[in-house]
Amino acid sequence: MSLLVVGLSHRSAPVSVLERASLSADAQVKLLQDTVAAEPAAEAGVLATCNRIELYADVDKFHAGVAELSTLLAQHSGVGLDELTPHLYVHYEDRAVHHLFSVACGLDSMVVGEGQILGQIKDALARAQELHTAGRLLNDLFQQALRVGKRAHSETGIDRAGQSLVTFGLEQLAAGGDVRSWARGKKALVIGAGSMSSLAAATLARSGVAEVVVANRTFERAERLARVLTEGDDTAVTARAVPMDAVADELTRADVAVSCTGATGLVLGVDTVVAAVEDRTGERVALAEAPRPAAVPEQSPAPAAEEGCPLDLSAVPTGFSVLGEAAVAGLDAAALEQHAAWVAGGTAVDRAREAGRPGPEDDAELIAALAATAARTGRVPELRRPEPVAGVPRPRPALFLLDLAMPRDIDAAVHQLAGVRLVDIESLAEASADAPMAADVDQVRRIVADEVAAFGAAQRAAHITPTVVALRSMAAEVVAGELARLEGRLPGLDDKHRAEITQTVRRVVDKLLHAPTVRVKQLAAEPGGAGYADALRTLFDLGPETVASVSRAGNSTTGENRGPA
């Protein structure tokens, strides 16, 4: 059996795909159960965070394993396999170990060096143990990953290189300024009471906000978090809990709101945000977009429908591009492909200019056309954050919003509202791409490389252990048989002589087996040493079932459900 991981993350997939592929807690449970029920996999674990979804498995066939795990991810995420496949990455054996250890150290995080991933790995292991999908390999792997991550944080300065997503997100809200100065005296609304929301609430409290209001679907959890904040020794913040249906009212009084729930739909729609800002400022909220071109005379015909274009051109205001990037915001995959084919037709640019509409280089937001289409077909979620419009100043924000949920809690259209600053997973990914790497990262990489080598050696040595145990068991049976035969031939032996003969025979066998078994373990621990177990089984005629029975006995005694480190 061999370790295989198939997954996608912010490094391999756009946020829009990650958002649609996100797994609920129930979906993760079903995915684990279906994976171990599949033919190639014997163990399974799922690591699902706001910016990664990874399925780990112990498989006996590589190609069949990749196909099965990819199919299962597609089925349980709801994203078609054809659409998901280009964004998937595959790691096998040592590369899979290296990947998880790097993840545990924060090297693969959106914010390099963040330590929250350790808690998420611990939760993934606990879930697999609870469902009995983690056996010896995944137990060893995930527990060692936790130890490697802790070692990286304790022996290096990787903590200086990165922060939690919460801290990084608050820095983005503060526009790079001092978070404490920015947060001091503000009223904060935290939506959700899970681990990320709790971290956000605690971070805001330590940053000096005057009040934290916690809203959660389970009111008791909101109350518990508010009580913890109020009783904390390191903060002097007022905290209270409210039910979820009070969010809209509380938003009118909040200066900053952080949302991270497990909801499958939007928690804050654009209308709710608009109402909150208008209530605070007493002014109408405008869109932060360039002025629309002057209306054309009424006799000007509306753009005619063109073959191959998925948009309703009759709803497109004159002067708006139907070709550029912004035009495709909100299209589903099929419509996007159709639109791309239409634009690539060769004469699309000329047709646009003849119709009096700008070409791609004059791209403008096509929100009106998308809204008209969505009005007939239902809400179309945006696949990208609208591009900022050059030359149009935004007023000082009256409301700051941080969306750490995946899928998103806050409508991406809020990015367009003047007087609101929204930071979400997508904008965090863009900002972190330019973040400087700390010098300690190289040291962490060396730690990861050393730990991967050590883990591989330990696993290879453990792989041969059942064969060595089976050999010694066979030798013990031979000794027992020969002593029984001797007892029959020499029934008059007294106890003293019988014990001396027994000890001598066993000592001879132990000495003969000691050097080769110790040496074979050393050789098996080296790269390429897996074949020594096969050689040992062949030389001593050890049947596969004999070795397998030893492995099963070892699993039952070492405990497949050991607690996380």
Known binding residue 338? Answer is no
How far apart (Å, rounded) are the C-alpha atoms in residues 234 and 214?
19
Q: In the 8-state DSSP scheme, what is residue 264? A: S
**Cβ(354)–Cβ(347) under 8 Å?**
no
- Active-site entry in 50, 105, 260, 309: 50
Known binding residue 195? Answer is yes
Spell out a b/e string for 437-460, using b for 16 or more CB atoms within 10 Å of the CB, else e: ebebbeebbebbeebbeebbbebb
309 is catalytic: no
| Residues contacting residue 95 through CB under 8 Å, at least 6 positions apart | none
Pick left, alpha or beta for residue 20 (phi over 0 → left; psi -120 to 50 → alpha; otherwise beta).
alpha
DSSP E strands in 106-198: the ranges are 187-191
**Cβ(245)–Cβ(178) under 8 Å?**
no
How far apart (Å, rounded) are the C-alpha atoms in residues 172 and 153?
24
Q: What are residue 449's phi and psi, to 5 degrees? A: -60, -45
Known binding residue 197? Answer is yes
Edge-first strand listing for the sheet containing 89-92: 41-49, 52-59, 2-9, 89-92
**Residue corresponding to tokens 């913040």:** 237
Q: Which residues pair with 216 in a beta bridge?
A: 243
How far apart (Å, rounded) are the C-alpha atoms in residues 285 and 150?
47
**Cβ(408)–Cβ(265) under 8 Å?**
no
Quick one: tokens of 242?
């409210």
Known binding residue 129? Answer is no
Known binding residue 51? Answer is yes
Known binding residue 116? Answer is yes
How far apart (Å, rounded) are the C-alpha atoms in residues 87 and 127?
26
Known binding residue 49? Answer is yes
Known binding residue 120? Answer is yes
Determine the distance from the C-alpha atom of residue 235 to the mean position of all C-alpha atoms in its chain, rounded to a whole number: 31
How far apart (Å, rounded) are the C-alpha atoms in residues 170 and 164?
10
Amino acid identity for residue 410 in this structure = I
How far apart (Å, rounded) are the C-alpha atoms in residues 477 and 542?
13
Catalytically annotated residues: 50
Going by the annotation, the residues of the binding site are 49-52, 109, 114-116, 120, 192-197
Going by the annotation, the residues of the binding site for substrate are 49-52, 109, 114-116, 120
